[in-house]
Structures are given as C-alpha cells and as structure tokens.
Amino acid sequence: MKTTPADVALIIGLALIIGTLYARYWSPNAAPPTHALIRVDDAPARRVPLHVNDRIVVTGRLGDSVLEVRDGRIRFASSPCRRKVCIRSGWMHDAHDATACLPNRVTLSLAAADPHYDGVSQ
C-alpha cells in the first residue's frame, strides 16, 4: 500500500493535535504543585503546604520518617526502612510526583491547587 499526500497530512495534523493536548493537560509544568499529600497506611491524607520550609515527622509501621520541605520541594530526609529507596528518590518538585516508603507504609505525592485532572484520574 502506497502512502498518499493526504495520509501524510493526516499524520502531521494528528501529531500536532496530540502534542498540543499533551502540553496543555499532561505536562508536568502545566500547574505547579502547591501542597504535598502524606498518607500513612489507610489514614486520610495530611495536606502540607510547599511554600513553608519545614521538617515533618511521620510515624509509620516501622517508626518515624522525616520529611523535609524546602523551596517548594519535598523529600524523605530519613526513614527507618532497610534499603532507603525513599530517601534515594530525592527531591520531588513536579505536580503529581510521588514516592513511598513501602516498609513503613508512608506515601508522599505532590498536587496542584488547580489540577488539570479530575478526582478519578488522580
């Protein structure tokens, strides 16, 4: 089957539309994060503002995890887990970034005040 000029135009048009939609709705820079959501086990999420530098102690199943908020970013500073994967994940700074200390059952995610997603897709 031979590609026609109409096929090429259709492919280029669809690529432009998809690129525009991605930049508008799914780009990490679409809406800057304003707060972090901290969850321990099945408890309701604790909302922490990112504009205030702070150290937060969260008690999980294994003990205390320390979270550090600085300059609109957040990270695990220390945790009682064995492998320290949560600490090595580093600073989170984009809306919808997430990390967790699974052994301690602490999860951390960033959210924007005006997200481009609905509650189901988050």
Is 14 inside a domain boundary? yes
Picking from 43, 48, 45, the residue whose alpha carbon sits closest to that of residue 67 is: 48
Q: Quick check: 29 pLDDT over 60?
A: no
Q: Does residue 119 lie within any of the structural domains? A: no
Q: Considering the domain boundaries, does residue 121 fall inside one?
A: no
| pTM attached to this predicted model | 0.70
Residue 65: CATH number of its domain: 2.60.320.10
Q: Look at the block and give the residue holding tokens 């602490």.
A: 106
Q: Which residue has the higher pLDDT, 116 or 82?
A: 82
In 10 A of CB 60, how many CB atoms? 19
Q: Which region holds residue 63: left if phi is over 0, alpha if psi is between -120 and 50, else beta?
A: left
Q: Are residues 104 and 53 in the same domain?
A: yes
Contact 86, 100 (CB under 8 A): yes
Predicted confidence band of residue 15 (pLDDT cuts 50, 70, 90): very high
pLDDT tens digits for 46-97? 999 999 999 999 999 999 999 999 999 999 999 999 999 999 999 998 878 8
Q: Provide the number of structural domains found in the chain.
A: 2
Q: Print the domain residue range for 69.
A: 35-111
Q: Is residue 117 part of a domain?
A: no
